[in-house]
Structure 1
Amino acid sequence: MAMSTPENIVIIGGGLAGAKTAEALRDKGYQGSVTLVAEEDHLPYERPPLSKEYLAGKAKFEDAVVHPADWYEEKNVTLKQGTRATKVDTKDHQVTLADGSTLPYDKLVLATGSTVRKLPIPGADADNVFYLRTVENSDALRETFGKDKKLVIIGGGWIGLETAAAARGADTDVTLLEGAKLPLYKILGDEVAQVFADLHSDNGVDLRTDVKVSEIVTENGRAVGVRLEDGTTIDADNVAIGVGVAPATELAEDAGLDVDNGVLVDGSLQTSNPDVYAVGDIANHDHSVLGHRIRVEHWANALNQPAAAAAALLGQDDSGYTNLPYFFSDQYDLGLEYVGHATGSEDKVVIRGDLDKREFVAFWVNSKNHILAAMNVNVWDVPDKIKPLIAEGKKVDLEQLANPNVPYSQL
């Protein structure tokens, strides 16, 4: 049955996913009304640079902007900057904004992204305690960098490690605190996580693992140190916290959509309401290739999911979103790409290359010898060769997998 073309589409979320949804709708020939509601005053921008090249002072903010202002005019997209959506009424098909005004919609796309997890300890609200989510956060954090400045970072995940690398690049004294036995341990497992521990230690980071933070010590409203549960206090001029993010699902929950670790969507990114779709960080997606639900906070999802959602909601293609998860990171002289999805510590890890030289490909393999995920470190042109092996669920010979002389096409 042919579906009628919607007359107006509203997108909530002013990040990469929201901007790419507007772009995809126009690219697919949609002529109706498109309104993009963006809570920040900025033009929609990408967030990875905030902890990478922008934080390191190696790139301008304009480089992270998805589209210049005149693009929205040329494409006839109404961009409402500095505007927060407060309610979605799926019965009456309208969105209420913070000023009390409403926007009608035929189809709605939620691209609300994530919010940073706050650390519930004393002192966490001090003036010089920084989280990293907006360009203003990144600007303020960069101002704390410099010789003779002591930065304590709480959290050894990707954001914490990238922040440490940027800070050390500016000759900042960095102490990194991680609760697990290694940074990235839950994602990568012992062997590969050790590579990142050594990388940061070799670059002058005071890495402390298996620690628990009890409070941020303050004087006159400013953080001056971080106290551990064992009583140790580490002096700090500034503190950065990177303990993860949570999907921003409040609007979806209030609207009565099915929510469980994100907004539940089917293969084509449609929510439990047929007129509402969700893309990016909030989408808990029924992934047909992986064979299970997955929600990942990756730049690639925000970049690529909108095209699949736009095609589905316009009735052009409902084959769904089948891209494998992908992300990248840059720290010091180490660059990496990761494709697929694995639990890390629970899977077998096969290494092709040299861990000591930090030039290798790591493969996470399940009990059936199927590749779940792979990460190439300082070795390039790898993901496109590995994606088919993951997607096909092909059983591989582990010795051949570890042998750099065996082409991927022969595994």
Structure 2
Amino acid sequence: MSGANAHVVIVGAGHAGGTVAALLRQYGHDGPITMVGDEPIPPYQRPPLSKAWLKGEADADSLALKPAEFYAEASIDFRPGVTATALNRGEKTVALSDGSSVSYDALVLATGARAIALPIAGADLSGILFLRTAADAEALKAAVGPGKRLAVVGGGYIGLEVAASGRALGAEVVVLERESRILARVACQALSDFFQGYHETHGVRFELGCSVVGFEGRDGRVTGVKLEDGRILDCDAVVVGVGATPNDELARDAGLDCARGVVVDLDARSVSDPNVFAIGDVAHRPMPIYDRMFRMESVPNALEQAKQAASAIMGRPRPSGECPWQWSDQYDLKLQIAGYAFDVDEIVIRGDPASGKFAVFHLKGDQLQSVEAINAPPEFMMGKQLILNRKPIDKARLADPSVSMKEVAAQTAAH
């Protein structure tokens, strides 16, 4: 059962869970809503944790999605510090860690993902940190500062954001990356080179093509990172940023179809059970633009799927599809990424990387798959439109910065 009177239970109180709760009320849902979350605070924005929070420019109140009193005022039964331990789909009940159980008409799984820990010696030493939650950010803020030495394991976007914030706080920073370049799994060579050079001008050191095999410690606290070649790099704190894995155990144990995430349709509804939805980092969802399934970790995806689930529960029309996008702030650089570089056979760079303002376009034939825009909002905005409309693109005009992006898009639309 769904509709305006259904009891909706939301498991997970992150960006996705908090948004779907608010949207249900906005869309006129007047039945009971229960939201459980394992953190002690209401839903908040996570992207600023690696930037503003570390630098002391944000806290739990300023990052909250809604004021704390919103949930009571909206008659949302929010239960912080509680996790779901088992799902019984036959009885439509969820067992909770406080010993209670809650029954649902519609269940929304918004359990997110967790940081991958390194299965190596010394991984349990204090001072080895991750960055997924406000508590993580608070621990890291306490560990870095002038004269401190921070080792970042993983040269992805989170690692680079932490490195930039670490330098802003006066710490010495070294980034350790297993691949031969940073951002190897998510960006092209040109972007890797640009970001490495930019970080190096800000004093960040890089160790590429190196494997971390253990952590050294004294009195239970990390003092160094041991590399495969035998070197030990001294440090006062470590941030491990080597990716995340979806929290889909509850779904898998209940027999829902999972593929590194709960498999859902375009309504964010489980393909195994019409009464269960999954949204955000835990969902393995269709991507019609690319004719494939994929799990996305981004705020825009969490918001899009929250709209899909709330609309489906309320019997509203399905929202129109969006172009996936994400962003990363490092120093004074704003990187905006639209789409995903699936099946790309050509890269077009527009603008000069040396100027700190350029865009990298990824093409499959004459269709745009993805754009990475550095301090280049028009390229990002028009790129999103071009990815969505799937029209053939004039590559010569795309590569020519003297032709405005509006002209490129207009000519594409006229094809």
Task: Return 5+ residue gaps in structure 2 as ranges.
Answer: none
* Secondary structure, aligned partner of 2:355: coil
Show the counterpart of 1:236: 235
Residue 320 of structure 1 and its aligned partner are, at CA, apart by 5.4
Show the counterpart of 1:77: 76
Residue 289 of structure 1 and its aligned partner are, at CA, apart by 2.8
Show the counterpart of 2:244: 245
Partners in 2 of 1:381 and 1:153 — Cα distance? 33
* Secondary structure, aligned partner of 2:182: coil
Out of 390, 396, 400, which is 1:399 matched to? 396
Answer yes or no: is 1:287 the counterpart of 2:287.
yes
Residue 387 of structure 1 and its aligned partner are, at CA, apart by 1.8
Mapping 1:358-397, distance limit 5 Å? 358-366=356-364, 368-397=365-394
Partners in 2 of 1:363 and 1:48 — Cα distance? 24
Show the counterpart of 1:353: 351
Show the counterpart of 2:194: 195
Partners in 1 of 2:320 and 2:252 — Cα distance? 23
* Backbone CA RMSD of aligned residues: 1.6
Q: 1:259 to 1:316 in 2, by over 3 A?
A: same
Q: Would you say the 8 A contact 2:116–2:242 is kept in 1? A: yes
* Secondary structure, aligned partner of 2:19: helix
Q: 1:219 to 1:4 in 2, by over 3 A?
A: closer
* Secondary structure, aligned partner of 1:301: helix
Task: Return 5+ residue gaps in structure 1 as ranges.
Answer: none
Partners in 2 of 1:298 and 1:3 — Cα distance? 27
Residue 3 of structure 1 and its aligned partner are, at CA, apart by 6.9
Partners in 2 of 1:320 and 1:96 — Cα distance? 32
Paired residue type of 2:278: A
Q: 1:321 to 1:42 in 2, by over 3 A?
A: farther
Q: More displaced, 95-104 or 271-280?
A: 95-104
Large movers: runs of 4+ above 6 Å: none
Deviations 1:315-362 (A, max 9, x none): 222x35622211111101111111111149x64221111111220011
Deviations 1:371-398 (A, max 9, x none): 1111110122443322221112222122
Residue 5 of structure 1 and its aligned partner are, at CA, apart by 4.7
Paired residue type of 1:364: H
Q: 1:347 to 1:13 in 2, by over 3 A?
A: farther
Equivalenced residues, count: 407
Show the counterpart of 1:298: 298
Q: More displaced, 382-391 or 334-343?
A: 382-391
Mapping 1:12-31, distance limit 5 Å? 12-31=11-30
Paired residue type of 2:376: V
Deviations 1:102-142 (A, max 9, x none): 11100010000011100111111101111111111101111
Partners in 1 of 2:236 and 2:3 — Cα distance? 59
Q: Would you say the 8 A contact 2:149–2:235 is kept in 1? A: yes
Report % sequence identity: 37
Residue 241 of structure 1 and its aligned partner are, at CA, apart by 0.8
Mapping 1:208-287, distance limit 5 Å? 208-271=207-270, 272-287=272-287
Show the counterpart of 1:341: 340
Q: How does the TM-score come out when normalised to structure 2?
A: 0.95
* Secondary structure, aligned partner of 1:188: coil
Paired residue type of 2:296: V
Deviations 1:253-289 (A, max 9, x none): 0111100021100111110200001110011111223
Partners in 2 of 1:347 and 1:78 — Cα distance? 50
Partners in 1 of 2:51 and 2:146 — Cα distance? 19
Q: Would you say the 8 A contact 2:341–2:370 is kept in 1? A: yes
